[in-house]
A and B are shown apart, each in its own frame.
Chain A
Amino acid sequence: MRSIWRTIDRGLVRDVAALAAAVAVVGASFGALAVAAGVPVWLASVMSLLVFAGGSQFMVIGVLAAGGTPVAAVAAALLLNLRHLPFGLVVGDLLGRNRAAQLLGAHIMIDESVAFAMAQRDPQRARAAYWLCGITLFCAWNPAVLVGAYLGEAMGNPADFGLDAAFPAALFALLLPQLREPGPLRVAIAGAVLAVAATPFLPAGVPVLIALLGVVFALPLPKKLERAR
C-alpha cells in the first residue's frame, strides 16, 4: 500500500478536498432532512454508513415522505444504484485480486471516486485516486450527516449554495481529459443525449443505463469516412 500513497500529489489532495467540502454540506442536509421526516438520528447515521450512496438515500426518504411503501422506496433506490454494476467492471481492474481490497473498495464506489480514478493517466495513479477520493468522501459524508441531523433546519438548503451545480460540473471536469479522442467523445455525447431524452419516460436511474447504448458510437468509422478526413 505504501507505494500507492507515494503517487498522490498535492493537486490530487486539493481537488478531492474541494469535493469533500461539498459532500459534507450535502451530507448535513441529508441528516437534517431525514430527522425532519421523522427518522431517528441513529438510523440516519446507520443508513449513511452502510449504504453510502447519497442519491439513493435521498430517494428513500423522499418516496416514504410522499406516502410510498418501503418496498417501492427500496426498489426505486436500488434502480438508481444499478449503475454501480458497470462501474464495478472498471473498478475491478483497479482493485486487483486482493480480497480485502475488493470487499472494502466496493463500498467506497461512488460516482466521484470512479470519475477521479478514470481521470488519471496511469493505473497506479488511478488506484491511488480511487482510494483517496472514496475514503475521504466517506469520512466527509458520515460525520456531516450526524451534524446535520442535530442542527436540523438551522442547516439551510444546499441549493442556496449552488451545490446542485457543483457536482455535475465536477464530473465534467474529470471527464474532459478523456474526451480528446473522437471515439470516447462520441460515446460521451451520445450517452448524455440518450439519457436526457429518456428521462421524461423512464424511472430515475434507468435513463443513465440507457446511456450505455452510446458505446456503439465508439465503433471504428467506416473506411470511406476515415479517408475523407
Chain B
Amino acid sequence: MTLTTVLVLAAGTYAIRLGGVLLRERVAVPDHVRRLFALSAIALLAALYATNGLVDGEGFAGWARTLGVGTGALLAVARLPFVFVVIGAALTTAGLRLVGIT
C-alpha cells in the first residue's frame, strides 16, 4: 500500500461524507422529504445490522456470530441497557467459539 492509495481513498471518502452534508444545506426540502431522509438512514442501519450479523465476505457468518447478534437483539427487546446488549452479544459469540462452535 502506498501513500497515494491512502490519500485517494481518504479524499474520496471525505468527499462522499461532506457531499451529503452540503447537499442537505443546498436543497430546501419540505418536512415529508426530511422524514424520507430519516427513513433512509433507518433502512441503511437495519441493512448493516442484518448483513453484518449474517454475512462474512460472501458466505454465512457462522452460528457463533449469528447467535451472539440474536442474543444481543433479545436483550435489547427486553429493554436491558445498551452496555448489556453489547457485552451480552460479544460474550455469547466468544463463548460459542471457545467451545468449538464457529
Interface residues in chain A, defined as those with a beta carbon under 8 Å from any beta carbon in chain B: 11, 14-15, 18-19, 22, 34, 37-39, 43, 46-47, 50-53, 56, 60-61, 64, 70, 73-74, 77-78, 81-93, 95, 97, 102-103, 105-107, 109, 111, 114-115, 118, 159-176, 178-179, 183-184, 187-196, 199-200, 207-215, 218
Contact = CB atoms under 8 A, between A and B. Distances in A.
7 contacts: A86-B20, A87-B41, A102-B18, A103-B18, A114-B41, A170-B82, A184-B42
Closest 10 CB pairs of A and B: A88-B20, A169-B72, A92-B24, A165-B68, A162-B93, A191-B43, A211-B47, A169-B89, A195-B47, A162-B94
Nearest to A165: B68
Interface residues of B, number: 72
A77 B64 CA distance: 27
Most A C-beta atoms less than 10 A away, residue of B36, B54, B72: B72
B86 A169 contact: yes
Contacts of A118: 38, 41-42, 45
A93 B19 CA distance: 13
Contacts of B92: 162, 165
Interface in B58-102: 58, 61, 64-65, 68-69, 71-73, 75-77, 81-83, 85-95, 97
Contacts, number: 295
B72 A192 contact: no
A50 B36 contact: no
Contacts of A64: 1, 5
B23 interface: yes
**Interface residues of B, dominant DSSP:** helix
A196 B21 contact: no
A56 B9 contact: yes
A74 B79 CA distance: 40
Contacts of A52: 13
A47 B5 CA distance: 9
A60 B5 contact: yes
A43 B3 CA distance: 7
Interface in B13-44: 13-14, 16-25, 34, 36-44
